[in-house]
Structures are given as C-alpha cells and as structure tokens.
Amino acid sequence: MGLIELAAAKALASSAVFLFITLLMMASAKRISTCIVLFSVQSAIMAAEILAVAYAGKSVESYAVAALVIVVKVVAIPYLLFRIVRNLKASQDVASSTTGAQSVFIMAALILLSFFAVAPYAKTLRLDEDLLAAAIALLLAGAFLMVSRKKALMQVMGLLVLENGILLAALTTTFGMPLVIEIGIFFDLLMGVFLMGLFVFRIRDTFEHLDVSKLRRLRG
Amino acid sequence: MTLVLLLLIPFLAALTVLTCKQSRRAVRVAMSAGALEVAAIANAVWRVRSAGVLQVGRYLRADGLTAFFLLNVGVILALVLVYSIGYLRHIPAGRFSSPRWFYSLTFLFVFTIMAVYLSANLGMLWICVESTTLASALLVGFYNTKGAVEAGWKYLVVCTVGIAFALFGTIALYLAAVKSGVNPESALDWAALMNAAPNLGATRDLIKLSFVFVAVGYGTKIGFVPMHSWLPDAHAEAPTPISAMLSAVLLNCAMYALLRFDTITSHAIGSGFSHTLLLIFGGLSVTVAALLMVVQRDLKRLLAYSSIEHMGIIAIGVGLGGPLGLFGALLHTFNHSVAKALMFFTAGNVRESFGTLRMKRIHGMARSLPWTSAGLVVGSLAIVGMPPFGLFISEFMILTAAFSGSRYLIAILLMVSLSVVFGALLHHFQRMLAGKRADVPSKLKLVPTDFAVMSVCTALLVMFGVRIPDAFAYLLQRALVVLQ
C-alpha cells in the first residue's frame, strides 16, 4: 500500500469521528434550521471522504459522485429546505418527545450499538470498522429522529440522515456503485425531498399545523 | 425499439395531456395514448414470447417473467382507463384536481411501472420502484381533503423509508458479488448476477443479510404485515381508478422486484432461507389481514386489507416453491388483479351513489343499484376463491403445493384464514345488499363504459376459472423458466 493510499485511509477513518459529532449535535438541536445546517455539514464530510477515495483510487467516477454529493446534498437540498422553512412562517421548534439530554444519551447509545453490530462483519470482510459503524449509526440515528420528532420537516431530516448512512455504507464497503445508479439515486432523493416539501405545505393548509403526531384520522 | 416505445408512450402522454385545457380533449388524448400503450405492451409480450429475451443497450431487458407481468399491466391499464371515463364526471374542480392533472400523473405512474419491469439492473430496479412511490403519492393525495393529505404523506414517508432498506440490501448483494469476483461494472446486472449466482455461496452471511433487508424493503411496498400501515390509507383515500391501479398493478410490481432477489438468493445459497422468510411474511399477512377484515367499517379499507391478504397468499405460494407453488403464485397475481379491479370499480360506483363508503350507512343496494351489486357479488365470490372463478384454481394449486410438501401448518393457517375472510365478506356484504330500497342521495346512472369494464372482468375471471388459455399457460411457463 502506497503512502498516499495510507493517508487517504487515515483521513477516512478519522472522519467517522466528525460524523458522530454531527449526530450528537443533531440530537441536541432545538431548531429545525440548526438541523439543516448540520445535515449540510455531515454531507460535506462525506463528500470529503469520497474525494479522498477518488484521489487514492484515481477514479474519475468517484470524483463525479463527490461532485454530485456537493451539488445535491450540501447545497441543493439544504437550500430547498431553508426555503420551505422560510415560506412556512411556522415555529422552528423540532417538537421533540424526548428532552435534549435524553436525546443525546440515546444517540450515544445508538453509536455504541452500531460498533457492536458491525464488529463481526468488519473482521471477516476486512473493512474499516469505524466507518462501517458510522454508516450504521447514521441509519439508526435517522430512524430515531423520525420517530422522536413530531414536526413533518424533521421526518424529512431523519430520512435524509438515514439515506446518508446508506451512501456511507455503499462507499465504505464497495467504494461506490456504478455511476449511473448513483445518479439515479440522487435524482430520486432530490425529487423525494421536493415532493415531501409540497406535502408539508398541503398539511399546513389543510390541518393548520405541522405536527404529524396529530395526524390520526385514519386508523384501523 | 419495442421496449423503448413502452417507456416513450406514457412519458409523452403525460406531457401532452397536460397541455389540454379542455377536459374532454384531455380524456380523448388519454384514451388514445392508453390504446397505443396497450398495443405496444401486446406487441412486446408477443415478441418476448417468440424471442425469449429482448435486450436494448445495457439497462433495458425483457424476459418471460417481465412479459407475464407486462400482460397484467396491459389488462388492468385498459380497464382502469375505460372506467375512468365514467368516474371522472365526479371529480370536483380544485388545485391539481382536474382531469388533465389526473391523467398526466397516471401516465407518469405507468411510465415508472414500465421502467421497473424493463430494468435489467438491480440498482436501476431500485431507482424505478422508488420513483413509482414518488409518481403515485400525488395521486393518493389527489382530492386534497384532510384524509387524502394524511394518507399521501404517510404513503410517501413510510414507503421511502422502507425502500431505503431495500437499497441497503441491494448494496449488500453488490458487495457479495464484487467480493466473489464479478466485474464491479456489471455486478448489479441481472444476467451477470444469475450467471455468477452459484459462485456466491462463499459470502453466505452477506447474501442472507441482503435478502432480509430487501424483503423488509420491498415488503413494505408489497404491504406485508407488519409494514402495511400505509396501504389501507392510501387505497381508501386515492381516487377509485388509482386504488385499482395500486392494488392490481403496484403491489405486483414490488412483488416482482422481490421475486428477482429471491431467485438470485435461492441460486446462491439454496432456497431454504429466503423461502422460509417469505412463508413467515406471507403467513403473518394472511392471518392478520383476515382478522382485521372482520372489523372494518369502510368498504375501500376492507378491499385494501383483502389485497394484503392476497399478497400474503402469493408470498406463501412463492415460499412453498416448486413448479406448482410458483405457478399458482404467478397465476394468483393475475387473477387477484382482475378480481380486485372489479371490486374497486363497484366500490367507486357505491361511493358516487351513496356519497359514503361507511358500510353501516349503506343498505338495500341490491334493489337500488342492481348492476353494481351484481358486480360486487361476483367480485367477492371470486376473491374468496369460489369456483368457477380463476382464484379458486390458483388458491387450490397453492394449497396442493402446501399439502404435497407436507407443510401442514401453513396449509391449515391458509385454510382457516380463507374461511375467516369468507365469513367477514359475507357479514359485511349481506348487510349492504339486503334491505328495503334505499333512497340514494344522488342517482347514479351507469354509463356503457361501466358495464363494459365490469363484464370484461367477470368474463376474464370465469374464463380463467374454467380453463387457462393455452397461450397464457405458455407465457406462464416461460416466466417460470426465469424463476427456476
């Protein structure tokens, strides 16, 4: 293994720590806009990782994927979400059902759990344990945000974090999928966020609130 | 070219319809585009039948299994479009709620479904399944009422999260293939994966992991219990032609995706693991849906739970495996589509004449709406698996497969659930049908198109119950070859 590859691998490994920090901050965030900024930062870290991979592997495709992440996840989606937040003119509170301390505690537990979960796979497949754990932690964190925050926009945030986890998993295990597939996934994601934004406005117009825990007309 | 046309027609139709300001023109454009699409489907099915496999470039491919499911789409699309002529008279004006938006979104939905069936690559398959959700979410929320917006939101969020798990599973399979020495560029291509499948055994754990995630992911979209929460809401709140599309086309579409993964998994590590998982999901769906059908109060929700039950039956058929189980399962997807389309059409008529779908408030249907009631009776007899309708044959095959494989537990579970469903439907429908002539709030006159779709459905159901046409059986055999 060459020196540059080693350096890239080190950079990848330490970036897992930054990802964990964004997760913990997201758990303690009280305002939706803070979460959006954190998501953007998280995506930027992932873009840096992909750039490291691209540099080490000298692959043009990975550069393209990094560019996609920067355009879609660092800029476009946060911009879209900020526009929605501004036009909604609603309160910015995330309406968490757990307190800030509890959320941070649960998030830390989830991170720990993901380390235990990946340990057997990381050994047999000779993969980077920290990054694989970060991927699983992002998945779990996304799910946790979706169930514990009541605002419709926070569910979108949870989904985006979950999606980041899947991207990271693909990146660490296979150094990315074929480019056409990646482009398709990003396109779907962008359209998904766009549509969910549309539905957020509709929920506000028809229900006059954005608390999805109160959407309980349809049961049984 | 044959395959490209299948995608091109609905895509162009979606754009063209949008430019038609007059609703009559929109309907006319939609009908002609629909006719073209159905003709293109028939052509494609015919070509695949004689040529075996059609491949265009790297990403479009059609084999026997595709052809079988394309036929299903063609039949249901034709029925739904014809039915929508009569149905659209009732659509109130409003934002997004006009015939041209309705048809435009419907064709976009058809475009994504076609893309699912034609994709030659499992990554592509995932992208297309996800875009079916995106294309149909606005249709589910089409009426913009409180219920419709809630159902649309739930559908969008639950299915997107579910499908995200399927992406994870797809990545795991990709990793397994790459680790086993398949070229990374083609490691998601169906043909390459099938060739490499026997050598994937070394990454056993990874393949199991992949199938679990895929089963949960696509299972969400199929409506397996316990991931079914979006399904009754979406089916109940969507406009009726779309409910029929969701139940008769979209669920099969997700089932098709799962079938592809099941085949690869079975080839790689033996069928034991994936089939057991399918039997568990299937058994759970059949039992829970049957019990929930007893307590339903809304006609369309009742039908939605019945869809969950039938998807469970299909999963059981696949899970039992063998030629008989698979044949029964595939035949059942087709039969269920036709029967469920018929029932949703009658439910739409009921909704327009009684102004409600609450089954408690509907009485004396047999006297005030004789033809619709006849359709409902035929549909429900078919759906519970009575002879001489097609579903009897396919359910009988699946049960036979269960008994001949000495899977007594699953056979008994299936039989008990089917009896519960029979009782539930009898209980609900006899209350709705019997009684004095009710004063129907808005007198609904059935137009010729309504009669046409209902009689075509009935004819198909009876035809498949009496004797499966040779051409169809041949197509089914072709599909089975792909799966084995």
The ipTM estimated for the assembled molecules is 0.91
- Rg (C-alpha) for chain A, rounded Å, is 18
Contacts of B24 (CB under 8 A, 6+ apart): none
> What confidence category does residue B40 fall into, taking pLDDT thresholds of 50, 70 and 90?
very high
Cis peptide, bond prior to residue B388, ω within 30 of zero: yes
- Put simply, the answer to whether A199 touches B179 (Cβ < 8 Å) is no
DSSP B59: T
Instruction: Nearest by CB to B151, from A124, A207, A218: name it.
Output: A218
Report, as an integer, the average pLDDT of B157-179: 92
Per-residue pLDDT for B468 more than 70? yes
Would you list the domain boundaries of chain B? 1-119, 121-269, 271-484
- Put simply, the answer to whether B184 touches A174 (Cβ < 8 Å) is yes
pLDDT tens string B405-430: 999 999 999 999 999 999 999 999 99
Long-range contacts of A31-36 (CB under 8 A, 24+ apart): A31/A92, A31/A93, A31/A94, A32/A85, A32/A92, A32/A93, A32/A94, A32/A151, A32/A153, A32/A154, A32/A157, A33/A82, A33/A85, A33/A92, A35/A94, A35/A154, A35/A157, A36/A78, A36/A81, A36/A82, A36/A85, A36/A157
In terms of Cα–Cα distance, which of A164, A172, A153 is closest to A189? Answer: A164
Per-residue pLDDT for B158 more than 90? yes
Collect all residues of chain B within an 8 Å Cβ-Cβ radius of residue A185.
123, 126-127, 167
- Put simply, the answer to whether B153 touches A203 (Cβ < 8 Å) is yes
> What confidence category does residue B92 fall into, taking pLDDT thresholds of 50, 70 and 90?
low
The listed range with the strongest mean pLDDT (A3-7, A30-34, A171-175, B368-372) is A30-34
Collect all residues of chain A within an 8 Å Cβ-Cβ radius of residue B185.
178
Helix (H) / strand (E) element for B315: namely helix B299-320
In terms of Cα–Cα distance, which of A43, A50, A67, A44 is closest to A8? Answer: A50
> What confidence category does residue A70 fall into, taking pLDDT thresholds of 50, 70 and 90?
very high
In terms of Cα–Cα distance, which of A169, A146, A46 is closest to B169? Answer: A169
Per-residue pLDDT for B95 more than 60? no
pLDDT tens string B191-207: 999 999 888 888 888 89
pLDDT of residue B94: 59
Collect all residues of chain A within an 8 Å Cβ-Cβ radius of residue B134.
188, 191-192, 195
CA B250, CA B246: separation in Å to the nearest integer?
5
Collect all residues of chain A within an 8 Å Cβ-Cβ radius of residue B172.
173
Q: How far apart are the two ends of chain B, measured CA to CA in Å?
A: 28
Does A117 lie at the interface with B, CB-CB under 8 angstroms? no
Question: Is B313 within 8 Å of B332 (Cβ atoms)?
Answer: yes
pLDDT of residue A49: 86
Helix (H) / strand (E) element for B54: namely strand B54-56
Does B137 lie at the interface with A, CB-CB under 8 angstroms? yes
Cis peptide, bond prior to residue B323, ω within 30 of zero: no
Q: How does the average pLDDT of chain A come out, rounded?
A: 87
pLDDT of residue B439: 67
Question: Is B372 within 8 Å of B446 (Cβ atoms)?
Answer: yes
Quote the pTM value: 0.94
pLDDT tens string A43-62: 999 998 888 878 877 788 88
For B467, the token pair is: 């004797």
- Inter-chain CB pairs, A–B, below 8 Å: 117
Point out the least confidently predicted range of A86-90, B106-110, B226-230: A86-90
CA A78, CA A65: separation in Å to the nearest integer?
18
- Put simply, the answer to whether B175 touches A191 (Cβ < 8 Å) is no
Q: What percent of chain B has pLDDT over 70?
A: 97
- Put simply, the answer to whether A220 touches B295 (Cβ < 8 Å) is yes
Collect all residues of chain A within an 8 Å Cβ-Cβ radius of residue B146.
206-207, 217
- Per DSSP, the three-state class of B62 is strand
Point out the least confidently predicted range of A207-211, B288-292, B306-310, B390-394: A207-211
- Put simply, the answer to whether B134 touches A195 (Cβ < 8 Å) is yes
Report, as an integer, the average pLDDT of B155-182: 92
Alpha carbon of residue B166 to chain centroid: 18
CA A52, CA B409: separation in Å to the nearest integer?
54
The tally of CA atoms less than 13 A away on the side-chain side of residue B195 is 10
Per-residue pLDDT for A1 more than 70? no
Q: What percent of chain B has pLDDT over 90?
A: 75
pLDDT tens string B318-367: 999 889 999 999 999 999 999 999 999 999 988 888 888 898 888 888 88
pLDDT of residue A120: 81
pLDDT of residue A127: 75
Per-residue pLDDT for B91 more than 80? no
